[in-house]
Amino acid sequence: MTYQRPPLGRHFLLDIAEAPFDLLDDPVGIEEALVATVRTMGAKVLGIYVHRLTPQGISGVVVISESHLTIHTWPELGEAAVDLFTCGDEVAAREAALALAPRLRAGRSELREVLRGVRSF
């Protein structure tokens, strides 16, 4: 007999393009955008680490009460990859992820969703 259970959570994968170099290379601006995203979804920040890469780019993670939000930027390409995983309110998380693209002044963006967890046993 196979049993189904709800997913462990939902992963939102946001790809950003045509964003300004100066914003994607600014650790303070990136941190502010990430924290604003977490607040938009109503989650609690548990920890933040943002690192500026050499010669350019940012890698950052915000650990949240529902899981995590990460970003990796390529300012020279105007691109960023964002990963938001939540086991909380998926509607609020989706809206927060979508709101991050305008915060980073993206010309284009694409959001994909993936359910997490093995749901049959």
Residues with catalytic function: 67, 72, 87
**Cα–Cα distance measured from residue 121 to residue 110, given in angstroms and rounded to the nearest whole number:** 33
Measure CA of the first residue to CA of the last residue in the chain; give whole Å: 8
Strand order in the sheet with 79-86: 45-52, 58-64, 67-74, 79-86, 9-17, 108-116
Instruction: Evaluate whether 99 touches 40 at the Cβ level (below 8 Å).
Output: yes
